[in-house]
Amino acid sequence: MQDTKKPKIKKTEEEWREELSDYEYQITREAATEAPFTGEYTNTKTNGTYVCRCCGEPLFSSDTKYDSGSGWPSFYEPVDYENVETKVDRSHFMIRTEAMCSNCDAHLGHVFPDGPMPTGQRWCINSASLKLQEKE
C-alpha cells in the first residue's frame, strides 16, 4: 500500500519569524496560549473555514464552532481528523491533549472530552493559530 501522506512543511525558526508576528510565533511555534476572551475569533459567528495561520491547512468549520464559555474559539470536531495531530501535554502541572496542525506542526490549542454531541469533544483553539476564510 502506498503512503499518500503529504510531506510536512519544514521551515527554519528564522523563516517562521519572518512570516508571523511575534505573538503568532509565540502561540504557534512555542506553544504559548493567548489569554481567555482576548482572541480575534472567540465570539466570531461568521461562516467559513478556519485554516492554519502558518500553512493554510483547513482545520475547523464554522458549522462545528460553539460557545463553550471557556474564552477560546471552540469546535466539536475538525474538518478532517487527518489535518490535526494530538499528543500528551504534561506542561503546567497538568495532563492535557495538545492539538497541532498535521501539515506544519503549529500549536493550535488543546482538546478536551467535555464538548457537545455528536463528538463530546471540545477543541479549544487559539485565535492566533487560525485564519478565517469566509464563505461567499
* 124 among known catalytic residues: yes
d(CA 44, CA 97): 24
- Report in angstroms the alpha-carbon separations of 84 from 69, 77, 97: 23, 10, 12
Helix (H, G, I), strand (E, B) or coil at 35: coil
Kind of pairing between the strands at 107-112 and 122-125: antiparallel
Retrieve residue 60's grid coordinates: 475547523
d(CA 78, CA 88): 18
Which of 54, 101, 104, 124 is an active site residue?
Answer: 124
Catalytic residue annotation: 124
